[in-house]
Amino acid sequence: QLQLQESGPGLVKPSETLSLTCTVSGGSISSSNYYWGWIRQPPGKGLEWIGSVSYSGSTYYNPSLKSRVTISVDTSKNQFSLKLSSVTAADTAVYYCASLLVSIISYYFDFWGQGTPVTVSS
Amino acid sequence: SSELTQDPAVSVALGQTVRITCQGDSLRSYYASWHQQKPGQAPVLVIYGKNNRPSGIPDRFSGSSSGNTASLTITGAQAEDEADYYCNSRDSSGNHLVLFGGGTKLTVL
Q: Which residue of A has its CA nearest to B103?
A: A46
Q: pLDDT 10s per residue in chain A (122 long)?
A: 999 999 999 999 999 999 999 999 999 999 888 999 999 999 999 999 999 999 889 999 999 999 999 999 999 999 999 999 999 999 999 999 999 999 888 899 999 999 999 999 99
A90 touches chain B (CB under 8 A): no
With 0-12 / 13-18 / 19 or more C-beta atoms within 10 angstroms meaning exposed / middle / buried, residue B56 is exposed
- Distance (Å, whole) CA B84 – CA B22: 13
| pLDDT for the residue A103 | 87
CB atoms B49 and A37 under 8 Å: no
Give the closest of A48, A100, A112 to B43, CB-based: A112
Preferred mutation among B30, B98, B99, B100 to probe A, highest tally of A CBs within 10 A: B98
Taking each continuous run of H as one helix and of E as one strand, the counts in chain B are: 0, 10
Of the candidates A69, A39, A62, the one whose C-alpha atom is nearest the C-alpha of residue B2 is A62
Residue B1 has pLDDT above 60, yes or no: no
